[in-house]
Homo-oligomer: A and B are copies of this chain.
Amino acid sequence: MTSGHDDVAYQGEPGAYSEAAALRFRPGAAARPCPTFEEVFQTVAEGRATYGVLPVENSVGGSVHRNYDLLLEHNLPIVAEVELRVVHCLLAVPGTTLPDVRRIYSHPQALAQCDRFLRSLEGVEVVATYDTAGSAKLLRDQRLHDAAAIASERAGAVFGLSVLRSGIEDFAGNITRFIVVARTDTTPPEATDKTTLVFAVKSVPGALFTALSVFADRGIDLTKLESRPLRGRPWEYLFYVDLTIGADDSRLADAMAALPASTTSVRRLGSYPSARASALAAETG
C-alpha cells in the first residue's frame, strides 16, 4: 500500500482533475488515462491498473451519479477517498487574448461552476464537451485562435496553452471528492474510519426512517445520504450512505445485522481512511 509504483487509472486526458487526484493518492504513480468511467472500472477489474480514481461528488455541482451506478454494477471495494480543491483556468492558444474569444469549451460541470464568470462575457458561445483537459487538447490540436477552454492550470501546461484567467470558479470552496477502488481491499481494518453502504428499503411507510434509526441508535453519524432510482421499480430507491465508522468497530457489524428488518438488500461498498484522516497521517509522518 505504500509503494509508489502502482498504476492508477483515471477518466480523462492528461491534465484532468482526476489525474491530479490519482497523483495526490499515490505520488509518483503511473497515472493511466481512460476514455470513460466504465473503462476505469474495467481496467482495475482486469488487473491492468492497481487502483481506479473516480469523482463522486463536487461541493458545488453535486454528485456524479454515473459513478454511484457503476459501483453497484462492479464488485470493486472502495479503499480510499481523495479531496481536491478545484481551481479553474481559462486557457487559450498563445497569442489569443480575452477579446478574441468567441467560443469557450469545457465539461458541463466545469461550465456550471464558472457560471458567473461566463455570464460576465458578452457575445461568447459556450460549448459543452466530455472533458476539461480534452477541451484544452482540442484547442491545441485544431489551433483555434478564437476560442478558449476551462480546465486546470496543469492541462494548460500539458497542451502548451496560455492562462488567460485563473480562479474563475464562482465559489472558492470548490472541492471534488474522489473515491479509489481496487480489486481487493488490503487496508488494515483499524486504519479505516469511514464506511459506505448501499441499501434498498422495504416498500412500507417509515422504512427509510427505520433504516436510518439503526445508525442513530448506535451513535453512528451520516456524512452523506444519496438516493438513486431502483430501475424498473418506479418511485422505489437505493440509498447510499457514508458513515463515520471504521471496519473494526463492532457497531458496524451490529448495524449491518439490524438493517434487514427495514431493507430488502444491503451491501458494504467499502471501509477506508477518510480524506481528513489521510491528510492528518501525511502531516504527522
Q: Residues on A close to B: CB < 8 A?
A: 57-63, 65, 170-173, 175, 177, 205-206, 208-209, 212-213, 215-216, 221-229, 231-235, 237, 239, 244
Which of the residues B65, B223, B231 comes within 8 Å of A235, measured between beta carbons?
A: B223
Residues of B within 8 A of A215 (CB): 209
Q: Is B173 a contact of A233 with CB atoms below 8 Å? A: yes
Q: Is A222 a contact of B235 with CB atoms below 8 Å? A: no
Shortest A191–chain B CB gap in Å is: 22
Residues of B within 8 A of A226 (CB): 227
Q: Is A234 a contact of B59 with CB atoms below 8 Å? A: yes
Which of the residues B60, B175, B231 comes within 8 Å of A60, measured between beta carbons?
A: B231
Q: How far is the CA of A63 from the CA of B226 in the complex (A)?
A: 11
Which of the residues B172, B208, B229 comes within 8 Å of A222, measured between beta carbons?
A: B208
Which of the residues B173, B212, B216 comes within 8 Å of A232, measured between beta carbons?
A: B173
Measured CB to CB, the nearest residue on chain B to A62 is: B229
Measured CB to CB, the nearest residue on chain B to A221 is: B205
Can you offer 20 A-B residue contacts whose CB atoms are under 8 A? A59-B229, A59-B234, A60-B229, A60-B232, A61-B229, A62-B65, A62-B229, A172-B232, A173-B233, A205-B221, A205-B244, A206-B216, A209-B212, A209-B216, A209-B222, A212-B212, A224-B237, A225-B225, A225-B237, A227-B227
Residues of B within 8 A of A213 (CB): 209, 213
Q: How far is the CA of A208 from the CA of B223 in the complex (A)?
A: 9
Q: How far is the CA of A15 from the CA of B247 in the complex (A)?
A: 52
Residues of B within 8 A of A65 (CB): 62
Q: Is B171 a contact of A232 with CB atoms below 8 Å? A: yes
Measured CB to CB, the nearest residue on chain B to A112 is: B66
Measured CB to CB, the nearest residue on chain B to A69 is: B62
Shortest A55–chain B CB gap in Å is: 13
Measured CB to CB, the nearest residue on chain B to A83 is: B234
Residues of B within 8 A of A232 (CB): 60, 171-173
Measured CB to CB, the nearest residue on chain B to A215 is: B209
Apart from A62-B65, A226-B227: 7 A-B pairs, beta carbons within 8 A:
A59-B229, A62-B228, A172-B232, A206-B221, A208-B225, A209-B213, A224-B235
